[in-house]
Amino acid sequence: MYGLSLYLSYKKIMTETNFQTFNINTTTPYNYILGNSLLWDIGNLCRKIKNPCKVCIISDEKVFSLYGNVVQTSLDVAYFHTYSFKIPEGETNKSLNTVESIISFLNENNFNRDDILIALGGGMIGDITGFAASIYMRGINFIQIPTTFLSAIDASIGGKTGVNLKYAKNLIGSFHQPSLVICSIETFRTLPQEDLRNGLVEALKMAIIKDSSLFYYLKKLSAKQHLRQDFTQEHPIENTSNTISQQLYNLKISSDDFMFIIEKSIAIKTKIVIEDEKEQHTRVLLNFGHTLGHAIESYSKFTISHGTAVALGMIMESFAMKQLEFVKTDFSIDLYKILYNFGITPPISLDAKLLENFIQKDKKNRENHINIPTVTQIGESNIYKVSKNTLTEFVSESLNILEEIKHEV
């Protein structure tokens, strides 16, 4: 009764909620619903695509403690029969062991092909839930509810799922499109500073490869920032009606900024995914900064965040492409300044030789070369075949150049 009374008290908020719907026309089409204060309406939104059935909410312990009860109550009121499976936080839990535990739980509770999974959390939760959904009974439906800025513009779109092995990131996986994506941006208000930076890096990547207008929007936004590295959330929002900028006063990013960045990023990624759903060619563009970025993450045993690793990867790859004379202009310094203004300072003290070993294990390797995105100028990109030896030759030199750039900012 407590859950029902809370639900009814929020009914007015729900009915007045504004949201936008984007059509993702992949082989299995689905909608992406973007708005604010949507969590209490999850049940109704799910009912539009699925009759009441068993639902398993998969989340990490922290996210579930924040939003699990709200989502579960909304689903219960909409007559879904809800279960929950919680995973400890951290990328190290994105493993086959965790997938096996999820599948055992589903089997013990008699889930069948008519039932659905819901990924409530960031990219790790989305990846592992999607992978479990793709292999349980040879495939069941799942819904993405991204709660991080990064997963809202990246992992929740496009159907990539997977888990890590100790050798490399996302080495085992599948393509399995969600049935629905629901992003309610008030969840960003509880994110640590680093998680917001991760999303900004991903948005910047999108802008660099395909949209110069988004790049200059982000550049202008970065110029407004006055970040502290030791920032802590000292003034939490008392209710969701306040703007996100009140919570993130140092970042000075408004709800409208987030909405604009996400809308632009959805458009970029959707266009690329529709053209190349299984990553045979065009979709490789989305890996800009990720060849070296994933190597850095693996090298650090995931102690370096995804955003910081990709930020460093983008700078190093842009330098390498300049040396190979694939690009018209060098934007490395400009990129570094934007990242710096957003409070993202990539580490320099990396062992180049060890890093090269992880590059050799990249899943995009083809015999003796890697298909790598190359930005010819901001907003324009192509894919080139680069030998693994050539790419690794630039790693050490790129780290030295980064040290020089750092002193110029």
Q: Give catalytic residues, as residue numbers.
A: 138, 160, 202, 269, 279, 283, 287, 290, 294, 306
Task: Tell me whether residue 241 is exposed, middle or buried, using C-beta atoms within 10 angstroms of its C-beta: 0 to 12, 13 to 18, 19 or more.
Answer: exposed
Contact yes or no for 258/185 (Cβ under 8 A): yes
Listed residue (68, 22, 30) closest to 50, CA to CA: 30
DSSP, res 343: T
3-state secondary structure of 230: coil
Whether 58 contacts 115, CB under 8 Å: no
Cα separation of 266 and 262, whole Å?
6
Least Cα distance to 150 among 114, 125, 168, 175 occurs for: 125
The answer to whether residues 57 and 207 touch, using CB atoms and an 8 Å cutoff, is: no
82: left (phi over 0), alpha (psi -120 to 50) or beta: beta
Q: Which residues is 20 bridged to in the sheet?
A: 34
Which residue stretches of 78-227 are H helix? 96-108, 123-135, 149-153, 193-210, 212-223
d(CA 251, CA 218): 12
85 bridge partner residues? 58
User: How far, in Å, CA of 74 to CA of 82, rounded?
Assistant: 10
Phi, psi of 140, deg, nearest 5:
-130, 170
29: phi then psi, degrees, rounded to nearest 5 = -65, 150
Query: What's the gap between Cα 212 and its chain centre?
Result: 21
Buried b (16+ CB within 10 A) or exposed e, 63-84: bbebbbebbbbbbbbbebebbb
Amino acid at 399: L
Helix (H, G, I), strand (E, B) or coil at 379: coil
